[in-house]
A and B are shown apart, each in its own frame.
Chain A
């Protein structure tokens, strides 16, 4: 009998995906069999799975550092430093969302375990995406991540806004996926493989006489990914979806989806298509410049805090693109550090927004924040730290993040986009200032506004986010070292 050679499987490297997928499916099965689950169980299970994923990352990190990056499952999946670091960030975002979800579901009277199940499956897709070493696997991960988030956005059954947000996100997300996939097909046609390692090897060893198909493919992949990470001019869905979707879900969208999207972008553009950097760098630089300008400018005109933060997330995407377009190890390291810091900033900010939104998830106008500092000084103080972090004020993590990508852009000699980003950052600071002014200087509209109940889960998320942002701001070296060691490499061939 002929023996079958099975591909190499490294269980430790696959553990995060397996834990998340098995955890989600198990919870779904149990919830459909058992009539009444205790209320705390789904959340406790999700938190346990998230902690387990987080616990797998330090041993994996050590294994990658000592044994080098590895390719497994016949070169379709790879594990390197960036995979492990972003998996940890995704686990943090998952934990934060799960902690925010239960008080939210109780307040809005939404029974069911679907949020937790979809959240874990979405995170599994995110982990697949950050460990993909093949364009098709990357596409599968992206779709597992996105399809779950489309449903999560529609989760609030009684808010029409939630369903409208979901449909908008779904149609535009599917549109973007089609572009991404078409781009992948053309890159496959031009290089003869969907494996990132083989694409890179082929491009390094061959001079393409007619590279029209390859360039069209790169352009379409860029459009698809720019949609997913909400870069201008492909950002139109972001404010509506952020405004309409349930607030804890927005925390996941902002932190998790962006982290996975940018890691995939770095992998495809910088690592696999690095030989053609001179072709895609100008395009990414234009996207970066447009995103920081539009994100900062339009945020100033908003009156809804969720929409303000949606535009600020567009500006953050622009800063991240600044690191991508540098196409250097320094740039990618800055992107990973930024992603970790942004995970903290976004989850913390949306924890405050979930709390202040109140029953019905509708109180997101600037007026809801008036006099918050007098009514709930601790909550307002924590939000202040997070907003200053988002603005990039020195001694917060946001400053470290922005400085890293700006330095990488200057290093890559794209001075104009670095200048534009610095001016835009100053404009964006005005947005955060408006929220701060509302919190500290304005009197409450009515003195009898009852204080918002801050559930323990939200306290943990806000506390950890603030502590993390301040710690990184004062002592950035450990995170920057990790990010520098996380530079992605090609191992498959």
Chain B
């Protein structure tokens, strides 16, 4: 059995969908945030497998940029989540309903 590029692409699509569905259904901000990371890593897998398939380095290169951006997002995201949970213990996304009109 030969593992072709399309296997990796399918796996990445499944991981991306898992992340997207998870973000839409889970209510804990931390888990929602993990789902975003899952989606970004699915994209990384797509970039790497397409880059290998095309014999082109820029696909691999893109992953480094995405990793750096994801790390920066972690820093900011965790800071916001910490700031909110310090004000309200055990806050879930459903508790965030002060805004509205």
Contact = CB atoms under 8 A, between A and B. Distances in A.
B39 A165 contact: no
A189 B55 CA distance: 11
Contacts of A171: 23, 29, 32-33, 36, 93
B72 A143 contact: yes
A143 B36 CA distance: 14
A189 B65 contact: no
Interface in A125-180: 136, 139-140, 143, 147, 150-151, 154, 160-161, 163-168, 170-171, 174-175, 177-178
A79 B68 CA distance: 26
A304 B84 contact: no
A347 interface: no
Interface string A169-207: 011001101100110111011001110000000000000
A444 interface: no
Interface string B34-73: 0010011011001100110110101101100110010011
A185 B46 contact: yes
Given A140-B69, A181-B40, A188 B100 contact: no
A171 B29 CA distance: 8
A371 B42 CA distance: 55
A239 interface: yes
A178 B65 contact: no
A275 interface: no
Interface of B is mostly: helix
Interface string A298-312: 000011100100000
Nearest to A244: B99
B54 A168 contact: no
A443 interface: no
A108 interface: no
Contacts of A239: 99, 101
B81 A167 contact: yes
Nearest to B75: A147
B62 A174 contact: no
Interface residues of A, number: 40
A367 interface: no
B96 A168 contact: yes
A189 B62 CA distance: 12
Contacts of B84: 163-164, 167
B99 A165 contact: yes
Contact of A188 (B9, B16, B39, B59): B59
A189 B99 contact: no
Contacts of A170: 76-77, 80
A164 B69 contact: no
B83 interface: yes
Interface of A: 136, 139-140, 143, 147, 150-151, 154, 160-161, 163-168, 170-171, 174-175, 177-178, 181-182, 184-186, 188-189, 192-194, 239-240, 243-244, 302-304, 307
Given A182-B43, A186-B46, 5 more contacts: A139-B69, A165-B99, A178-B19, A193-B56, A243-B101
9 contacts: A136-B58, A143-B72, A150-B77, A151-B80, A164-B98, A167-B84, A168-B96, A168-B99, A171-B33
Interface of B: 9, 16, 19-20, 23, 29, 32-33, 36, 39-40, 42-43, 46-47, 50-51, 53-54, 56, 58-59, 61-62, 65-66, 69, 72-73, 76-77, 79-81, 83-84, 87-88, 93, 96, 98-101
By Cβ-Cβ distance, the 10 closest A-B pairs, closest first, are A178-B39, A189-B50, A240-B99, A185-B46, A174-B36, A164-B96, A307-B101, A143-B69, A181-B43, A304-B101
